[in-house]
Amino acid sequence: MGEATRWLRKTLHGRIMNMVLPCVLILAAMILFYYCHVTAQDENDRSSKHFLGLIVIQMLPLVFLELQITSCPDPEAMLALFGTKVLLLHGCFMFLRVCAWPLMEVGIGWSNLAGTVAVAGVLHWGFRFRWRFHSILEHKDVGCLVLLATVGSIVSETIDGSTKLPMLLEHIIFTASSYIEVLGFVPAVWLVHLTAKKSDDVTRTGGVDLQRQAVFFFECSWLVSTSSRTLSRRGRSNTCQGSPQRAIPSTS
């Protein structure tokens, strides 16, 4: 009985189970994506397909992170490597949606504002991030990703040509925020990949700080994902009702 219990505990908390759950979620999203594609009554309404498709794209790097972090002897120290960059990107896309609040004409901005404040608070108290030029310059790779997403949204919206000029700015902001959200875990994947490639041992520099960072990080991630995938998506659907020819791609 004791050996069976230990085997069950090892199986549930082992690397295989850590791989199974993300793969099952991705498979479920792909099935729902195909179901929405087959049963869609309005060909112009692609919001649900974009939503599910971008979820799949965003979860692919999370599978890689799940495998690497669980195999790391000190996951909290690994989290400290990329936590600040990931939170900065999440704060950027939430802040863009706050900026678009006056353009949306629907009451969903409070959730985005709460997410932005939460990210700023976690960066300040959890990761000791200081809003200074030197600190921001250390994360210039985050700025490059934001610039890439912004340029991509401008180009895609301009080439599409189906958006009327009064709504073009709104579409560009929403598309840029969606692209940044998709790129949210790219710095984490890149840093973890470099660490694994160099076979560097990630060691602790402060146990209490790392534990606090982990708690703050996952609590903030839950709050941001909840607010962006519920209220923001509902508001996005209301905003698109006046433009039936094209749905804005977003994971939120």
pLDDT value for 236: 44
pLDDT for 144: 92
State mean pLDDT over 25-37. 75
Provide the number of structural domains found in the chain.
2
pLDDT of residue 189: 81
Q: Is the CA virtual torsion 26, 28, 30, 36 positive or negative? A: negative
Please give the residue that has the higher pLDDT: either 61 or 19: 61
Same structural domain, 62 and 156? no
Query: For residues 70 and 208, what is the distance between their CA atoms, to the nearest angstrom?
Result: 20
- Mean pLDDT within 60-78: 70
The Cα–Cα gap between 11 and 165 comes to 56
Mean pLDDT on 163-170:
74
| Structure tokens belonging to residue 26 | 């991705």
Same domain, 108 and 231: yes
Percent of the chain with pLDDT strictly greater than 90: 4
pLDDT mean across residues, the chain: 70
**Residue 146 pLDDT > 60:** yes
- pLDDT of 246 > 50? The answer is no
- Asked if the model's pLDDT at residue 243 lies above 50, the reply is no
Domain containing 135 equals: 74-242
What pLDDT, in 10s, does the model give residues 188-215? Answer: 888 877 776 665 555 554 444 666 666 6
Say yes or no: 67 and 84 in one domain. Answer: no
Contact 97, 174 (CB under 8 A): yes
Are residues 214 and 95 part of one domain? yes
Higher per-residue pLDDT: 24 or 102: 24
Q: How far apart are CA 202 and CA 77, in angstroms?
A: 6
